[in-house]
Structure 1
């Protein structure tokens, strides 16, 4: 018990992350999120690279890079967590 208490107090808490701000309009962001969600729902769990390949096949406007797609995925995950908390 004493060892687990020491381990608990010796770990650092996660730093608070600032909210993700997307550079596309809310309407365009919703469209991008819906298309990504549909791709993941249809093809099952995919890697980021496979998801990016499928998104390129669809030809979404506003989604210019894999890096931005990862930011949108992180935003979607955070939004989902907030909705489940409420």
Structure 2
């Protein structure tokens, strides 16, 4: 127990992250965020990879790459346009982006993988 206390007090807290500042012009940022928001709203909770595939299908020209899209999505999370939810599938986690005011269309993976045992009378 003494070791655990020393280990706890010897670690430094995680530094605060500063807000993201996008370097694209405001008009271009608005176009990109509107397209990403519409994609996430229309196709439900999406992973980064699924979102990137949908953006490529649309042919959005303002994005320079997947990394830029991830940065814009993080900026949108700060502005509370998107939210990040975690779906646990056994020992694996799946992070999905969704809009704030839409109900999630996926069911809990734990409930789908394990049926509840029947109750005995």
- TM normalised by structure 1 equals 0.76
Greater helix percent: which structure?
Answer: 1
CA distance in 1, matches of 2:35, 2:61: 11
- TM-superposed CA distance for 1:31, in Å, is 1.0
Aligned to 1:84: none
Aligned residue pairs total: 76
Unpaired runs of 5+ residues, structure 2, are 82-121
1:73 equivalent in alignment to 2:73:
yes
Higher RCO (CA 8 Å, separation ≥ 6 residues): 1
- TM-superposed CA distance for 1:13, in Å, is 3.2
CA distance in 1, matches of 2:33, 2:72: 7
- TM normalised by structure 2 equals 0.55
Once the two structures are superposed, what CA deviation does each residue of 1:8-30 show, in whole Å capped at 9, x if it has no partner? x7464331112212121111101
